Amino acid sequence: MGAELIISAVRPDQFPAETLPEVAFLGRSNVGKSSLLNCLAGQDGLAFTSATPGRTQSINFYRIDGRVLFVDLPGYGYAKVPKPIKAEWKGLIESYLVERKTLDMCFLILDSRRGWMEKDLELRDWLEFHNRRFTIIATKMDKLKTQKEKHHGMKALQSHCSSEFLPFSAVGCRGAREIWQAILKIKSNQ
Ligand SMILES: Nc1nc2c(ncn2[C@@H]2O[C@H](COP(=O)(O)OP(=O)(O)O)[C@@H](O)[C@H]2O)c(=O)[nH]1
Ligand SMILES: [Mg+2]
């Protein structure tokens, strides 16, 4: 599989031409967006992952196999970012999510230990309001080790939302095949 970074856009005028279908990766800082993207692209280190939250400040566009773009967005909910910078990100992200014609699917990524947090719910409502199609992915499944943790995690994920979610872990890229199937399904439905 060929995967390459096209551009790290910090302004809307830097977004690439609207040609290929796009999948956007959304979620809180540090939830595992870039790790998921790397697994799906089959390329470790393609998207920059970090143990320090709030690192991705641009919208990064990756071309995968010449047929789909993966779009890594800055994470939300990171309190240490200065307000004016936050406002700028918000403008950038909103202009992408509202206006992008080739955006076909948003992956709303949740931490399976935490489930829905306030900012995730806000984003979900926002996506629904704007009629954006989204799929929920519960990542870091490997962190649910005991039966008790698994039970608690499932309950947290199932609250607030009746929609199904796709389980995933970047450890061994478990669940990547099912997520790819979901991507291919959107494309064949068009
Ligand atoms: N155990 C585990 N760690 C993960 C998983 N996904 C991401 N991480 C770790 O969580 C941190 C943040 O991941 P990253 O992909 O950079 O998150 P992003 O800020 O949402 O892009 C990194 O230290 C990753 O190694 C996962 O499925 N399991
Ligand atoms: Mg990232």
What are the structural domains, with CATH classification, of the chain? 3-185 (3.40.50.300)
Ligand 1: atom nearest CA of 170 is 27
pLDDT score at 27 = 92
Q: Kindly tell me if the per-residue pLDDT of 89 is higher than 80.
A: no
Question: How far apart, in whole angstroms, are the C-alpha atoms of residue 39 and residue 169?
Answer: 9
Residues with CB under 6 A from ligand 1: 27, 29-35, 49-51, 56, 75, 139-140, 142-143, 169-171
Q: What is the pLDDT of residues 11-49, one digit of tens each?
A: 999 999 999 999 999 999 889 999 999 999 998 878 777
- Is the model more confident about 118 or about 63? 63
Range among 6-10, 75-79, 82-86, 137-141 rated most confident = 137-141
The preferred substitution site among 31, 35, 43 for testing ligand 1, maximizing ligand atoms within 8 Å of CB, is 35
Q: Kindly tell me if the per-residue pLDDT of 83 is higher than 90.
A: no
pLDDT score at 56 = 56
Q: What is the pLDDT of residues 148-187, one digit of tens each?
A: 998 888 888 888 766 789 999 999 999 999 999 999 988 6
Question: Which residue, among 97, 84, 99, has the nearest Cα to 25 in the 3D structure?
Answer: 97
